Amino acid sequence: MGTSGSKSMERELASMWELSFVVPPDHETLDFKFLLKPKDAETPCIIEEGPTRLLTGGMLEGDVRVALFKLNGDDEVLEFRVFNKADLVSPLELAASWRVYKENLQPSRVRGIPDISINVAPTNATEEGSAATLELDLEHYVVPSPPTAPPNGYAANLAATPASMIQTGALWTNDVLLSDGIQSPSSVSAKLEDCSNDKKNIEAWATDSSKNSGLIESKSVGTFTPLQKLDGQKGLFVDRGVGSPMLPKSASACFLASGFSFGSAKTMPEAAGAVAAAAVADRLHGSKEDRKLAIVLVGLPARGKTFTAVKLTRYLRWLGHETRHFNVGKYRRLKHGANQPADFFRDDNPEGIESRNEVAALAMEDMIDWMHGGGQVGIFDATNSTRKRRYMLMKMAEGNCKIIFLETICTDPNIIERNIRLKIQQSPDYADQPDYEAGLEDFKERLINYEKVYEPVGEGSYIKMIDMVKGQDGQLQVNNISGYLPGRIVFFLVNSHLTPRPILLTRHGESLHNVRGRIGGDTVLSETGELYAKKLANFIEKRLKYEKTATIWTSTLQRTILTASPIVGFPKIQWRALDEINSGVCDGMTYEEIKKNMPEEFESRKKDKLRYRYPRGESYLDVIQRLGPVIIELERQRAPVVVISHQAVLRALYSYFADRPLREVPEIEMPLHTIIEIQMGVLGVEEKRYKLMD
Ligand SMILES: Nc1ncnc2c1ncn2[C@@H]1O[C@H](COP(=O)(O)OP(=O)(O)O)[C@@H](O)[C@H]1O
Ligand SMILES: O=P(O)(O)OC[C@H]1O[C@@](CO)(OP(=O)(O)O)[C@@H](O)[C@@H]1O
């Protein structure tokens, strides 16, 4: 971002000055120099000698050199030592620090520029100010996001927790478990230290502005089948039999592609449509192996394996497949510690080879055990970079599951360099390494060790993603792939990319049925709803002001179309798939009327809102199935999209981005007059909420 602005440093102690600010982890490079501001405003500032400093990923590029100032016509030189470090801040600390910042903002002027005015490049500035002031303007609508594990947590550590290690009570010091920090915006602060003897020492370093940086214990997040959760609540299930194949007597042996196990033949209808139909076909015709699928990642470090593993896990879970991510790096860290030097990864290091194969086998055993316990798709995340390793995994999979190798290949040195830098910042392998450059050096050496023995995939069933980051110019190679689920996985990967862009989700403005507590229908907006439509248009005009293009998606119901009508400047698309859940014969009723007139239906929905299907209507699972193409299209889009839809539909869409378990979907809070901004970027998914009115 071309910035022109200044931030004044505050005197922390007699000998120290601090400059502290928050940046998103993937912020664009900031260029700056230190200035000395003399006491009397008339004397011009003194700019430090040397090249402009560059801040990337919260870290100063190159050697962090001292700051030199020439005073009194070069007769005197003032030296300041400079330290800089980026640390994580949790979203909650961030919100708190934002409030403090706003309360304490003291606009002052350095070189005639108001402080804290980091302007975007002048070409973007508008008469009423810069994007930065625009940002401030929208910020006062910001409300805290729900405290779920931030979707962009350090990916590998959201993976399954090693079952075997927990059973043996292996050492799980909190710092190891918790050291897998949650990736969130970094707080950067720098201070200046005066190195000359006769001057006060002014040290420059960073504060860890958030000792408890919102670390959330990493835990395996499996989606248990609702039945497993409902065991204790065997309820009145109104079995309509629609979309759920008649089951053999021993229902427990049957796992539908939707990943749900049946406790008994008389059960609720499962996911309708393609998923159920395919599941029946697979069950009737496929081998047991085919019902269980292992996606085995292959690739050199920093090629996006974990990133892809997390994204694919999220998508398959959302489709209702019992899916879990197994990250071998996490197993290695827990078994051998998080500070293995590059030598550990040398191919001529027998102990290293032994240890790495041991944890890989351990993870594979856990995954197979998990499959025997009901899991359906295991995402096995490691480099798996030699045929020998992949052969070991194939032998272990025999009779248990089918393996599809998923290789990520990247030939763009700039992207690889960026990935490596992100890695050093994020990975627990370098969490205790204070010297960024040393970490960078070590990781590059590790990379060389892997490159020496890397054997690209050529065996079995495989998918190769080659330079797929931008969603264009890359290619996807497929070999020996068949079946419903592998086909959907290929389709998902082909439509995914990493180009950062926001997705804004919001319900329609309050409708007349909302006022009366009636569900469904196709009513117009209330006056309050119309006011929201105007506010939404104003918000979008500001929020998307600097976007080249964007699209507005609504359902075909008038409450969303009317909400979108004040928005100008962007094409609008009506999706039938975005229509609210079909409440069938209950359409237009209030919940009280349903409870009074159709108590069985009311009770049945209360017992299992996810799979309950209204008579001649839909279940949440049905809604999720019909939103599949919407998710694919949202993944494919590279420009911002504003989705104006309904409570149940938005719960389903939001649960995909927030990786919420299916069972939680029907209860996700989805208030009126609130915008949820999902930022899909290189670090995964981040969320921000704006409440435009009560
Ligand atoms: N297909 C891809 N090609 C190149 N880089 C990618 C790809 N997918 C994701 N990335 C980027 O690589 C970075 C590091 O990826 P990561 O998943 O940690 O690598 P790995 O697991 O292969 O070591 C991610 O932050 C992401 O921005
Ligand atoms: O699944 P529940 O919690 O009933 O929520 C879905 C209901 O929400 C409503 C409002 O009550 O959606 P909408 O956003 O369209 O107003 C109903 O139309 C819909 O039936």
pLDDT at 125 over 70: no
Write down the pLDDT at residue 243: 32
The residue with greater pLDDT, 261 or 405, is 405
Based on the fold, state whether residues 379 and 513 are members of the same structural domain. no
Q: Supply the ipTM of this predicted assembly.
A: 0.92
Range picked from 15-24, 252-261, 368-377 for highest mean pLDDT:
368-377
Write down the pLDDT at residue 122: 38
Active-site residue set? 381, 410, 508, 580
> Residue 463 — very low, low, confident or very high, per pLDDT cuts 50/70/90?
very high
Alpha helix segments (H runs only) across 517-575: 527-543, 558-564
Ligand with the closest atom to the CA of 410: 1
Does any ligand 2 atom lie closer than 6 A to the CB of residue 651?
Answer: no
Write down the pLDDT at residue 432: 79
Give the phi and the psi of residue 652 in degrees, each rounded to 5: -65, -45
Write down the pLDDT at residue 225: 35
Is 239 a domain residue? no
Is 335 a domain residue? yes
Does any ligand 2 atom lie closer than 6 A to the CB of residue 589?
Answer: no
What number of other Cβ atoms are within 10 A of residue 63's Cβ?
A: 7
Q: Of 281-290, 329-338, 481-490, where does mean pLDDT reach its minimum?
A: 281-290
Q: Treating both helix axes as pointing N-terminal to C-terminal, what angle do 305-318 and 484-494 enclose, rounded to 10 degrees?
A: 120
| CATH classification of the domain holding 523 | 3.40.50.1240
Write down the pLDDT at residue 631: 96
Q: Of 37-46, 47-56, 82-91, where does mean pLDDT reach its minimum?
A: 82-91
Based on the fold, state whether residues 44 and 59 are members of the same structural domain. yes
Binding region for substrate: 507-514, 559
Based on the fold, state whether residues 475 and 547 are members of the same structural domain. no
pLDDT at 113 over 70: no
Does any ligand 2 atom lie closer than 6 A to the CB of residue 582?
Answer: no
Q: Do β-strands 377-381 and 323-327 pair in parallel, antiparallel, or remain unpaired? A: parallel
Q: Measured in angstroms, how far is the CA atom of residue 518 from the centroid of ligand 2?
A: 8
Q: Could you tell me the sign of the dihedral formed by the alpha carbons of 329, 334, 339, 344, in that order?
A: negative
Is 21 a domain residue? no
State both tokens at 681: 């970027």
What is the Cα–Cα distance from 373 to 365, expressed in whole angstroms? 12
Domain limits for position 547: 502-691
State both tokens at 682: 């290189």
Range picked from 12-16, 130-134, 146-150, 559-563 for highest mean pLDDT:
559-563
Write down the pLDDT at residue 94: 54
Based on the fold, state whether residues 339 and 486 are members of the same structural domain. yes
Q: Which amino acid is at 16?
A: M
Tell me which residue of 21, 64, 71 sits closest to 47, measured CA to CA. 71
Based on the fold, state whether residues 400 and 512 are members of the same structural domain. no
Please give the mean pLDDT across all residues of the chain: 77
Q: Which residues contact 40 (CB under 8 A, 6 or more apart)?
A: none
What is the mean predicted confidence (pLDDT) over 541-551? 92
Beta bridge partners of 4: 119
Q: Of 128-137, 284-293, 340-349, where does mean pLDDT reach its minimum?
A: 128-137
Write down the pLDDT at residue 529: 98
Based on the fold, state whether residues 334 and 480 are members of the same structural domain. yes
Q: Do β-strands 572-574 and 641-645 pair in parallel, antiparallel, or remain unpaired? A: unpaired
Write down the pLDDT at residue 100: 56
What is the Cα–Cα distance from 278 to 264, expressed in whole angstroms? 20
| DSSP reduced 3-state for 689 | strand
Order of strands, sheet of 142-143, starting from the edge strand that comes earlier in the sequence = 142-143, 684-691, 674-681, 501-507, 641-645, 551-554, 572-574
Is 236 a domain residue? no
- The answer to whether 467 and 410 have CB atoms below 8 angstroms apart is yes
Based on the fold, state whether residues 443 and 583 are members of the same structural domain. no
Q: Do β-strands 67-71 and 76-88 pair in parallel, antiparallel, or remain unpaired? A: antiparallel
Write down the pLDDT at residue 265: 32
> Residue 5 — very low, low, confident or very high, per pLDDT cuts 50/70/90?
low
Tell me which residue of 684, 667, 654, 694 sits closest to 229, measured CA to CA. 667
DSSP assignment letter at 247: P
Write down the pLDDT at residue 442: 87
Report the nearest-CA residue for atom 27 of ligand 1.
682
DSSP state letters, 464-496: EEES-TTSSS-EEEEES--SHHHHHHHHHHHT-
Range picked from 24-33, 220-229, 264-273, 676-685 for highest mean pLDDT:
676-685
What is the Cα–Cα distance from 605 to 591, expressed in whole angstroms? 11
Based on the fold, state whether residues 547 and 401 are members of the same structural domain. no
What number of other Cβ atoms are within 10 A of residue 345's Cβ?
A: 21
Write down the pLDDT at residue 694: 80
Q: Which amino acid is at 571?
A: P
Q: Of 144-148, 415-419, 577-581, 690-694, where does mean pLDDT reach its minimum?
A: 144-148
Q: Which atom of ligand 2 is nearest to the CA of 672?
A: 14
Percent of the chain surpassing pLDDT 70: 69
Does any ligand 2 atom lie closer than 6 A to the CB of residue 506?
Answer: no
Give the phi and the psi of residue 452 in degrees, each rounded to 5: -60, -35
What is the mean predicted confidence (pLDDT) over 471-491? 92
- The answer to whether 493 and 564 have CB atoms below 8 angstroms apart is no
Is 24 a domain residue? no
To test ligand 1's pocket by mutation, which of 303, 385, 415 has the most ligand atoms within 8 angstroms of CB? 303
Tell me which residue of 669, 679, 674, 678 sits closest to 648, measured CA to CA. 669
Q: How far apart are the first and last CA of the chain?
A: 35
pLDDT at 268 over 50: no
Ligand with the closest atom to the CA of 648: 2
State both tokens at 240: 């309509």
Q: Do β-strands 59-60 and 684-691 pair in parallel, antiparallel, or remain unpaired? A: unpaired
Based on the fold, state whether residues 637 and 563 are members of the same structural domain. yes
The residue with greater pLDDT, 63 or 454, is 454
The residue with greater pLDDT, 250 or 321, is 321
Per-residue burial over 405-429, b if 16 or more Cβ lie within 10 Å, else e, is bbbbbbeeeebbebbbbbbbbbbbb
pLDDT at 353 over 90: no
> Residue 616 — very low, low, confident or very high, per pLDDT cuts 50/70/90?
very high
> Residue 133 — very low, low, confident or very high, per pLDDT cuts 50/70/90?
low
- The answer to whether 363 and 329 have CB atoms below 8 angstroms apart is no
Q: Which atom of ligand 1 is nearest to the CA of 309?
A: 17
Is 86 a domain residue? yes
What is the Cα–Cα distance from 583 to 614, expressed in whole angstroms? 5
Decide which of 83, 104, 125 is a domain's last residue: 104
Q: Which residues contact 545 (CB under 8 A, 6 or more apart)?
A: 126, 131, 134
The answer to whether the predicted template modeling score (pTM) of the entire model surpasses 0.80 is: no
Report the nearest-CA residue for atom 9 of ligand 1.
304
Write down the pLDDT at residue 104: 56
Q: Measured in angstroms, how far is the CA atom of residue 572 from the centroid of ligand 2?
A: 23
What is the mean predicted confidence (pLDDT) over 470-474? 81
Tens-place pLDDT, residues 556-576: 999 999 999 999 999 999 999
What is the mean predicted confidence (pLDDT) over 93-109? 54
> Residue 202 — very low, low, confident or very high, per pLDDT cuts 50/70/90?
very low
Q: Which amino acid is at 249?
A: K
Count helices and strands in the chain by DSSP H and E runs: 22, 25
pLDDT at 128 over 80: no
Beta bridge partners of 114: 109
Pocket of ligand 1 (CB under 6 A): 299, 301-308, 408, 410, 415, 419, 422-423, 465, 468-469, 498, 682-683
pLDDT at 279 over 70: no
Decide which of 437, 465, 495 is a domain's last residue: 495
State both tokens at 571: 């094409």
Q: Which long-range contacts (CB under 8 A, 24 or more apart) does 508-516 make?
A: 508/557, 508/559, 508/560, 508/562, 508/563, 508/644, 508/645, 508/646, 509/533, 509/536, 509/559, 509/562, 509/563, 509/672, 509/673, 510/672, 510/673, 511/559, 513/588, 514/672, 516/590
Tell how far CA 99 is from the center of its chain.
25
Give the residue carrying structure tokens 């070991």: 392
- The answer to whether 332 and 633 have CB atoms below 8 angstroms apart is no
What is the Cα–Cα distance from 603 to 622, expressed in whole angstroms? 19
- Structural domain total, the chain: 3
Q: Which residues contact 144 (CB under 8 A, 6 or more apart)?
A: 91, 92, 95, 689
Binding region: 507-514, 559
Q: Which atom of ligand 1 is nearest to the CA of 310?
A: 17
DSSP state letters, 55-67: EETTEE-S--PPE
Decide which of 480, 495, 510 is a domain's last residue: 495
Tens-place pLDDT, residues 218-231: 232 233 233 333 33
Q: Measured in angstroms, how far is the CA atom of residue 138 from the centroid of ligand 2?
A: 28
Does any ligand 2 atom lie closer than 6 A to the CB of residue 646?
Answer: yes
Write down the pLDDT at residue 372: 94
What number of other Cβ atoms are within 10 A of residue 277's Cβ?
A: 15
Based on the fold, state whether residues 521 and 471 are members of the same structural domain. no
What is the Cα–Cα distance from 546 to 638, expressed in whole angstroms? 15
Based on the fold, state whether residues 436 and 531 are members of the same structural domain. no
> Residue 25 — very low, low, confident or very high, per pLDDT cuts 50/70/90?
low
What is the Cα–Cα distance from 241 to 268, expressed in whole angstroms? 7
Is 583 a domain residue? yes
Tell me which residue of 550, 538, 575 sits closest to 560, measured CA to CA. 575
pLDDT at 76 over 90: no
| CATH classification of the domain holding 472 | 3.40.50.300
To test ligand 1's pocket by mutation, which of 300, 306, 307, 498 has the most ligand atoms within 8 angstroms of CB? 307
- The answer to whether 155 and 362 have CB atoms below 8 angstroms apart is no
Tell how far CA 278 is from the center of its chain.
29
> Residue 373 — very low, low, confident or very high, per pLDDT cuts 50/70/90?
very high
Write down the pLDDT at residue 527: 98
pLDDT at 658 over 90: yes
Write down the pLDDT at residue 286: 57
What is the Cα–Cα distance from 9 to 554, expressed in whole angstroms? 48
DSSP assignment letter at 131: H
Is 112 a domain residue? no
pLDDT at 460 over 60: yes
Based on the fold, state whether residues 490 and 637 are members of the same structural domain. no
Report the nearest-CA residue for atom 6 of ligand 2.
648
